[in-house]
Amino acid sequence: MRSWMVGRQKLLLHPATKPVLFIICLLPFAWLFYRAFANQLGANPAEALIRATGDWTLRFICIVLAITPLRVISGTPTLARFRRMLGLFAYFYVLLHLLSYSWFDKGFDVADIARDIVKRPFILVGFSAFVLLTPLAATSFNAAIKAMGARRWQWLHKLLYLIAALALLHFFWMRAAKNNFGEVIVYGVIIATLLGWRAWHRWGRSPRMAVPGAAANVR
């Protein structure tokens, strides 16, 4: 068992691991690009692109939130080295989501986009999530941690919890228009479980279960 865990750590620390993960994270973009080029996005390709990029944003947010529970439960601290890359991919896909909406739905008409944000609550919620995610992406570098200090940097990146809630609400309103709540429930359960685990790990465990300093590492 111990040798298996050591082997797993070595695999995760291998220099090729991050490039391979990078390529895997780009696959949804490549698939969407291919389908758009091959005219395989259905009767409304603009809507398909907007929705698909939004879906992948929410998926990557869930993956980022899952890193810490998986790291703690599996006893694999090395997983933390992938969190920032996955977070930047969440931002990459939300940028694609915003660009798809701005281009295909609004023709990059800034005034029309601004009116839509004010007029439609689900657009406002989604845009708010994007705005909050921007400083997280901008500070996902070692130089930012050094400049801000680890404590302030960690507090800033706890905004991901609020971003996840806003993204889920945005997704709910999108699906509510067509009375399609199946996926909303799935993502809601996933996000509630991941955030609930953090709350339990920080405040709900008995003193005998608590590990000194462990709560400070839960993000």
Q: Which stretch of DSSP H or E encloses residue 2?
A: helix 2-13
pLDDT of residue 84: 95
Mean pLDDT over each residue of the chain, to the nearest integer: 90
Counting other chains too, the contacts that 61-66 makes at CB distance below 8 Å and 24 or more residues apart are 61/90, 61/160, 61/163, 61/164, 61/167, 61/191, 62/164, 62/187, 62/190, 62/191, 62/194, 63/90, 64/90, 64/160, 65/160, 65/161, 65/164, 65/191, 65/194, 65/195, 66/194
> pLDDT, tens digit, for every residue of 17-56?
999 999 999 999 999 999 999 999 999 999 999 999 999 9
Paired tokens of 103 = 């281009």
Using 50, 70 and 90 to split pLDDT, how confident is the model at 9? confident
For range 115-137, the mean pLDDT: 96
CA 40 to chain CA centroid, Å, is: 26
Could you tell me the pTM of the whole model? 0.90
